[in-house]
Amino acid sequence: MTASHQPTVRVLLVEDEESFIDALSVGLAREGFAVTVARDGAEGAARFAAGEFDIVLLDLMLPKMSGLDLCREIRSSSDVPIIIVSAKGEEVDMVLLLEIGADDYVTKPYRLRELVARMRAVLRRREHPVDLDGEESSIQRGPVRLDIDARRCFIGTDEVKLRKKEFALLRLLMENPGRVLTREVLIDRVWGHDYVGDTKTLDVHIKRLRSLIETEPKAPRYITTVRGVGYRFEVSRDEG
């Protein structure tokens, strides 16, 4: 038995910038991850095929094979969690990334703590996939609690009244903590064929939810906007 009861999480880091490789190798090892490094896309594909990994951190701009192509290739044979790490200012189609199967993405420069929180959130989702038939009777994230059966929402001990679609939207976000949900997914899952009008309907609902659950709706802490992509319910530090 090792000191830790948790099995070591095996990470494949596909990255060509030495400064990131050094920082991540050290930082992730300190957090208890076992890191294998691949320095270009082709090496990433080879290492992935030859080893067993619990999660993949994938840079987009890579020699020999792009992160996008490697993500596609890995997805064709595996459902391993993939987090894309993109450089700041890089022209990235986040919607496309999520469509081809990336689980999340982080933009450089980032804090190690943020990356690790996202890694743990993705891994936890894989371990405890959301049961869409709703076995869970309540969901608690930070001070926000949803009582699913009674369709009630509480902030601490105070109840806030939500309309049907608002509740469905908040539930979907809270069931996927730390995960970017695209506008298309949110609209499809909450409204489906009922969605009428322009795409503003979603934003109006988000705005109202923020006014109800956020301390500062203009600087939201829980429901954050991922520009051009969608929304995310943030993983709080104590949950990460």
Q: Give the binding site for Ca ion (CB under 5 A).
A: 16, 59, 61
When the beta carbons of 39 and 141 are compared against Ca ion, the nearer one is 39
Query: Which tokens sit at 8?
Result: 């070591």
When the beta carbons of 40 and 184 are compared against Ca ion, the nearer one is 40
When the beta carbons of 16 and 234 are compared against Ca ion, the nearer one is 16
At closest approach, how far in Å is the CB of 48 from Ca ion?
Answer: 17
Q: Which contiguous run of DSSP H or E holds residue 140? A: strand 138-141
When the beta carbons of 16 and 43 are compared against Ca ion, the nearer one is 16
At closest approach, how far in Å is the CB of 174 from Ca ion?
Answer: 34
At closest approach, how far in Å is the CB of 83 from Ca ion?
Answer: 15
CB-CB contact of 162 with 170 (8 Å): yes
Q: Which contiguous run of DSSP H or E holds residue 27? A: helix 18-30
How would you class 239 by CB atoms within 10 Å of its CB: exposed for 0-12, middle for 13-18, buried for 19 or more? middle
Q: Which contiguous run of DSSP H or E holds residue 101? A: none
Residue 102: strand, helix, or coil: coil
Pairing, β 104-107 against β 138-141:
unpaired
Query: Which tokens sit at 28?
Result: 């992730």
When CB distances to Ca ion are compared, the closest residue is: 61
203-214 burial, b for 16+ CB within 10 Å, e for fewer? eebbebbbebbb
When the beta carbons of 16 and 166 are compared against Ca ion, the nearer one is 16
CB-CB contact of 83 with 200 (8 Å): no
At closest approach, how far in Å is the CB of 87 from Ca ion?
Answer: 7
When the beta carbons of 67 and 142 are compared against Ca ion, the nearer one is 67
Query: Which tokens sit at 168?
Result: 């469905």
At closest approach, how far in Å is the CB of 62 from Ca ion?
Answer: 6
At closest approach, how far in Å is the CB of 24 from Ca ion?
Answer: 13
